[in-house]
Amino acid sequence: MNSHLQKVELMDETEDAPKHEDDIRKLQDDVLKDREDSLNGHEDLLSDHEDILNGLDDVQTYVKQIAWPQYRIKHKHGATQMRLCKRNEDLVNASSNACTSVVFRRAKVWNVRWFNADENTYYNMPFTYVKRGSSRNPPLFIGMHGGGNCPEYANQRQFVNHKHLYSNIVDGIYLVPRAPTNSWNMWFRREVRPLFDAIICNMIVNENVDSNRVYLFGYSAGGDGAFQMVPLMADRLAAGAAMAGHPNDANFTNLCNTPFANYCGQSDNAYHRNTANVKVGERLCAMQRDHRNEGLYENVLSVQYPTGHWMDKRDEAAIDWMASSIRNPKPKRIRWRLTHGEGATETRFFWLLFRCACGMSNNRPPTLVEGHADRQTIHVYFSGHSYRAGDSIVLLLSDGMGWDHTKPLTVCLVNRDDASTQELEVAERKLRKSVVRKSLDLWGDPNMVYATEVEVDLKHLFELSVQTTNSNVGNSES
């Protein structure tokens, strides 16, 4: 079951909405034609009776010609698809407080909705977007508006105004979401991540967005959100930027492979934004220096303009800066600050998936997980982890990681807190269609597809001292 699209609820359709049946029929015809032209001897991949894929070439063919097209047909304008709001009243009624002072004339406003079972509450994220240029697989720029803890009409006005900023996005899709709440932390509450995931998945499916070129940025309160959400969603993004925002307690560990920039006016002293942004630049540069030999945090930028809170659109430079970056969906080195307050039983970051049978809880400290894939050896380092029964780490493996599935794999787990290690020898792994489909359901992203997985129970590493070694063990930075 798809973890993102299933949470998208529907708004009423408008007469201007696309003819879904015609779109789906055309897509099916295109898929069949492409399949006939390109399978070339791989017709056996069409069978669902055989789960095994013979090699990485088969994986690529299966994803491109079968699994991803089937996924698109299933989700394009389907029961879980975003829909066009019927009229402005639908957008207003979706909000917590009624507002009639803002009118969206001639603007198509879509909506995604996510249900928080703990609160028994639906959260809406209306959004609008414009497509510029003629790219067949356009990049996606998501801009978060300002506002915050203020009246509904003020945030609505910020939402409308933000649609007209960043006119220098000339090739791609510029998408502006409306924050689901009117709170100071409206862009980094629990509901924001699944809503962003739903939007990104839908744009990949319906607008053919290049999933390796998704960019997230924001201004003012939206900049606050960028400081928090870009690290949290770093595996989804090619780059991110915070404009005139405040970092609060942002942690930048996850940005080791994701370019990030912050822009601020030198005289923007409200909430000490100017000094806080200078410190952010210093932190990012220090992380870059500390990990230079590993090739991490290579692309960071901190800019202060001689302005106040409004930077006279000089921050438009961030668009071209971000657009120069393309995501590597399967980096060989990752650093992941794993937090446990999301209430989920599993969470993932690139090719690592953390699974907890009893669910994440707020009283568990953050965990720093570092992964290094080096051909037939994968090292995973843990720091600050408090083990619970049922905790496991899942390694997701596929092409592009320098790994040969026909040879044994060595997995070395290291607990940096007590210098204990556990080394496992994993036999030859089969490449499976079921794992490909599962990874599509996890990400909704054809570039984040994996063909096999290795799940390792962490109890031996954190409850038993299986083996102690001082090699390659040291203090880990957050």
* Residues 413-434: tens digit of each pLDDT: 998 888 888 888 888 778 889 9
Beta bridge pairs of residue 32: none
Phi, psi of 115 (to 5 degrees): -100, 125
Q: Which residues contact 440 (CB under 8 A, 6 or more apart)?
A: 67, 68, 71, 446, 449
CA-nearest of 168, 24, 4 to 82 is: 4
Could you tell me the sign of the dihedral formed by the alpha carbons of 397, 403, 408, 414, in that order?
negative
Residue found by looking up tokens 């001082």 in the block? 470
CA distance 140 to 241: 14
* Residues 441-474: tens digit of each pLDDT: 888 999 999 999 999 888 777 764 333 332 333 3
Average the pLDDT over 316-336 and give the result.
Answer: 96
Averaged confidence pLDDT in the chain: 80
CA-nearest of 68, 191, 84 to 137 is: 68
Whole-number pLDDT of residue 222: 98
* Residues 14-52: tens digit of each pLDDT: 434 444 455 555 655 565 555 444 445 454 545 555 788
pTM for the model: 0.84
Q: Which residues contact 146 (CB under 8 A, 6 or more apart)?
A: 158, 162, 218, 219, 220, 221, 222, 223, 244
Alpha carbon of residue 102 to chain centroid: 31
Widest pairwise Cα distance in the chain: 68
CATH class, domain 89-323, is: alpha beta
| Paired tokens of 236 | 């989804």
Q: What single-letter DSSP state applies at residue 292?
A: G
Whole-number pLDDT of residue 97: 27
- Give how far Cα 110 sits from Cα of 17, 79, 282, Å: 10, 15, 39
Please say if the pLDDT value at position 120 is more than 60. yes
* Residues 356-367: tens digit of each pLDDT: 766 555 556 678
Could you tell me the sign of the dihedral formed by the alpha carbons of 88, 89, 90, 92, in that order?
positive
Whole-number pLDDT of residue 88: 37
**Choice among 89-93, 256-260, 322-326, 340-344 with the minimum mean pLDDT:** 89-93
> Is residue 213 within 8 Å of residue 326, measured between CB atoms?
yes
Range(s) for CATH 3.40.50.1820 in the chain?
89-323
